[in-house]
Structure 1
Amino acid sequence: MTRPVILTGDRTTGPLHVGHYAGSLANRLKMQDDHEQFLLLADAQALTDNAQDPARTARNVLEVAMDYLAVGIDPARSTICLQSHLPALAELSMLYLNFVTVARLERNPTIKDEIRARGFGRDIPAGFLCYPAAQAADITGFRATVVPVGADQAPLIEQTNEIARRINAVAGAEVLPEARAVIPEAGRLPSVDGTAKMSKSGGGALRLSAAPDEIRAAVRAMFTDPGHLRIEDPGRVEGNVVFAWLDAFDPDKAEVEALKARYRAGGLGDGAIKKRLEEILQALLAPIREERARLARDPGHVTRVIREGTERARARTEATKDAVTAALGLFRL
C-alpha cells in the first residue's frame, strides 16, 4: 500500500526549542513509520525576512538538522533535505506566480498578519509577499498530501490547493494532488513569561539542547497566577504557563487534571507544580542534549545525512517539475 506523503520542516534561523517538540517534532516521530516523510530545511524561505543576514540561515542548517536527529528522526525513514539545493522548487515557484495575483497574495490572512507583526507597512519584501507561491511549490513539488501546520498557517495550504487546481485546470488533467492541513490539537506553547507564544526570535524560548541549570531557571521564572499568593488561595489555571507546559509534556493527563482541580480549589502551591514540570523536562531533554552533543562532534556525518536526503528529494522534485511543464505544454529541449 502506498503511504501518504507528508511534507514538514523548519526555517533555518536558529536551533529548535521545546515549543517545536510539543507542536511538531513529537508528531513527526510518530508519522515517520506510516508516512513517506520529507523534512525540509527551509534556508531559502528563511531569507524572505532575513536577507540582511543571509549567513544566519546558512550557519543554522546544521543546528536544525542536529535537532532533528537528536530527537530521534531517522534518516532511513524520513528524508532530511536542503531547500536551496532543490532547484525544481525555485522553478515551480516562478511558474506558480503566473497563476496567482498580487491581490490574492495580499489577502492571505497569514501573510497579512505577518506583515503587520513585522511592521513592513508597504515596504514588503517581494520574496515575503510571494511566500505562499513558494510554499505551494514546496508542497506540490514533493506531491505531499499531508501537511502539519498550526491553525494560523492553514490559509497557506488553502492557497496551495487553489494554485494546484488552476494548474490542473489549464493542463486538463490532475497533474498535482491537493494537500490536507493537519492542525495539532494543542496550540503553540507560551513563552516562559507568558507574554507571547514561544518563538526562536523571542526571549522566552527554551532550547532542546538546554543545560539542566537553564531548564531549572526557566521553570522557576515561569508565570503562574499573580493572585495566588498563598498555598491555600484558589488559583487560576487559565493563562498559567506551568499548566500549559504540563498539558504539553506531562504524559499523565489524568494527574494533570487532578492538579488543576486542587490548584483551583486552593491547597496546591506554585512550587509543587513547578517541581513536577522541571522533573519532566529534565527527563525529556537530557537524552536529546546528550545525542546532540555527540552529533556536534561529527558535523561531517550530519552533512552527509543532509546531502543524501537532498539527492533523494532532488529526484522527486525534478520529476514533479517535469510532469507539470509537460502537462502545461511548455517547450522542452
Structure 2
Amino acid sequence: MLSEFDLIAKYFTKPVRNASLGIGDDCALLTPVPGTQLAISTDMLVSGTHFFADTDPRQLGHKSLAVNLSDLAAMGAEPVAFTLALSLPKPDEAWLKSFSEGMFSLANICHCELIGGDTTKGPLNICITVFGRIPLGQALRRDRAEYGDDIWVSGTIGDARLALAHCRNEITLDKQDFNAVSPRLHMPIPRIMLGMALRKNANSALDISDGLLGDLTHILDASGVGATLNTDSLPISPVLARQTEDWRMLCALTGGDDYELCFTAPPSKRSRVLEASARTGVPVTRIGFIENEPGLRLRNSHGEPVTFSRHSFDHFLAGSK
C-alpha cells in the first residue's frame, strides 16, 4: 500500500515554472510580479454534498480545480498556481491516477501548477486553493456595480441543475439530452479568458456557482443597488428549453454549478463586451439592468412582473436547492 509521501510523489509531484519553489519543502514560494495583485480563493468539495460518491474520478479531478479557477475568472485573474488538500478513505491507485489526470489536464490548459498541499486518511474531501495575478487596480469586484449598468451572463445557465435533477430521479431525460447537459455538471469550463478580457470593460462580476438569483444578489448587496431581470432573455440550452416552464425557471434562476460569469458593464461598453466575447469564443447575453431602487425584480419581455419564490443553494438552509 502507498504511503502518504509515495502517493504525493507518484501522482501529484510535477515540475514548476511559475513558482520559485514547489512541492517538497515546508512551504512553496511564489515571487510576486511587480505591478500586480495576488488573487487567492479556496473551495472545498465534500463527497455526498458536492458530488456523488461514485462520480468518475477523472471528471472529479477536473471539476475540483475548475470551480476554483472559476473564482479567478470572476475576478479577471490569470491563474498561476494551486494547492491541494486531499482526504481519502484509502489510497486507491486506479482512483488516484484518474483523478490526478483529470486535474492536471485542466491545470495544463490553464497554465496553473500544483505547488503543495496535504493528504490524510478520512472521508473523501477535496480542498483546493488557487493563486492568480491581476494588474494592480484591475480586479473585477462585486461592489462596483453602478446605476444604469447592463447585466450580462456568459454561456448558458441551468444545464448543471437539470443534469442533477436527472441524477436525483426528479425528472427523466432521454440519453441524448442527458449526455448533452451532463458535462455542465461534471466538467464545467472556467471562463478564464473572458474574465481577463473584461478587466477594463466590466464594473463588477462573479461566477454563478449557487444560482443566478442568489449570486447576483451578492453584487446588488455589495454595491448598494437593485436590478431588474428579463426572464425571457435568460440564455438556456435547447435541452432546458424543452422542459416545463417550472423546470426552466428553477434551473435557470436558482440552479448552481454552471460556473458562468455574471457581470455588469455600462451601456457605453456594449461593443467592447461583445468584442471580448468574440475574441474569447464565449457567448454573452444581456439579461437586465442595474437600478437605484434596492431589490431584485423579475419581468418578462412585455414588462410584466414574474413571480418566483425559489431560492438559490445555501449549505445551511434545508431544502434551498
- Pick the structure with more helix per residue: 1
- Pick the structure with more strand per residue: 2
**Greater C-alpha radius of gyration:** 1
> So what's the TM-score if we normalise by structure 1?
0.29
